[in-house]
Amino acid sequence: MTTPNDAQQAEIGLRSFGRPNSVVSQFDFWNDRYEGRRLFSEVLGTFFLVLVAVGGGLVNARFGGDAVPAAARVVAPALMVSAIILFMGTVSGAHLNPAVSMAFALRGDFPWKRVPAYIVAQFVGAALATLLLWALVGKHGTAGLTLPGAGISTTTAMIWELVLTTGLVSIILGTASGAQQIGPLAAIGVGSYIALAGLWGAPVSGASMNPVRSLGPALVLTHWTSWWAYLVGPVAGATIAVGFAHVLRGRGGGRSGVEAAMGTLGAHWHSNPRK
């Protein structure tokens, strides 16, 4: 088990002054014994996200095409993400998205050793949500799936997802930086971006910005059209966002010890560069 050293504990104490429960939560996030709790949170959070994101399309198809308006189908997942950040962000960081987990790892705020398990947990949550929806309301063609819009090529959809994901991950990294730890208000920023991107971007690519939101349902419903666009686009967008964050903040970025400690999307511990 890896635990913070004395200097890290002192820094946590200073950053957490006036917030009685935050020090314990940060130690829990560092403590390997609680990895199961974190992974369960990622499964649960991604389950609810995909339940809303895929469920909107399936329910709409099940009840005639006007039951859930198009605007509601893109705003509802954004509201769910905001709620998930608020209720479980301090447990797992509320990544809910492999692109986000990879971005934090690339920036050095999240241990690479945790990334594979996080991604598996996210896929499990997405698959379980889709299975439940299938059992309750049935399968209705391509309803609920993320696909390019009419007349849109897979390449165009991939580039669209890349651009949208670059913006999303930039928002997430920006609200989890050492100079801008805005705590629960990050839920508003992230949720607002997802809603705004969906309102104008969904007709082109579906505005997924999340590989598990697209590939989890595709796996369950066995529909793999244009699947690679929804893997390559978000991952490339997240990588570009990390590069932008480096340019904006410079080498080191003013960070020390704890990065975004229990603040925006939850606990993102700055990994020890000597490891």
Q: What is the pLDDT of residue 182?
A: 55
C-alpha distance from residue 224 to each of 52, 62, 104, 122, 147 (Å): 21, 22, 28, 19, 9
Q: What is the pLDDT of residue 265?
A: 45
Tell me the per-residue pLDDT of 187-208, one tens digit each, with 9 for 90 and over. Answer: 999 999 999 999 999 999 999 9
> pTM of the entire structure?
0.82
Closest CA to 87 of 122, 141, 143, 48: 48
Pure H helices in 93-228: 98-107, 115-137, 154-175, 186-205, 211-221
Looking up tokens 């594979």 gives 116
CA distance 24 to 19: 10
178: its two tokens: 């050492």
Q: What is the pLDDT of residue 65?
A: 74
Residues whose CB is less than 8 angstroms from the CB of residue 175 and which lie 6 or more positions away in sequence, other chains included:
181, 182, 185, 186, 189, 190, 263, 264, 265
Residues whose CB is less than 8 angstroms from the CB of residue 4 and which lie 6 or more positions away in sequence, other chains included:
12, 27, 30
Spatial contact of 267 and 93, defined as CB atoms under 8 Å apart = yes
Q: What is the pLDDT of residue 176?
A: 73
Domain ranges of the chain: 6-249
CA distance 211 to 49: 13
CA distance 95 to 81: 10
| Number of residues that this document lists for the chain | 275
Tell me the per-residue pLDDT of 211-245, one tens digit each, with 9 for 90 and over. Answer: 999 999 999 998 888 999 999 999 999 999 999 98
Q: What is the pLDDT of residue 26?
A: 54
Q: What is the pLDDT of residue 29?
A: 66
Task: Give bridge partners of residue 176 from the DSSP assignment.
Answer: 181
CATH of 6-249, one of 3.10.20.30, 1.10.357.10, 1.20.1080.10, 1.10.3720.10: 1.20.1080.10
Q: What is the pLDDT of residue 4?
A: 52
C-alpha distance from residue 270 to each of 32, 61, 253 (Å): 15, 45, 12
**Please, what are the averages of pLDDT over each run of 10 residues along the chain (275 residues)?**
50 41 53 88 97 96 88 96 90 93 92 95 98 94 94 97 97 71 77 96 97 95 92 98 85 37 38 36
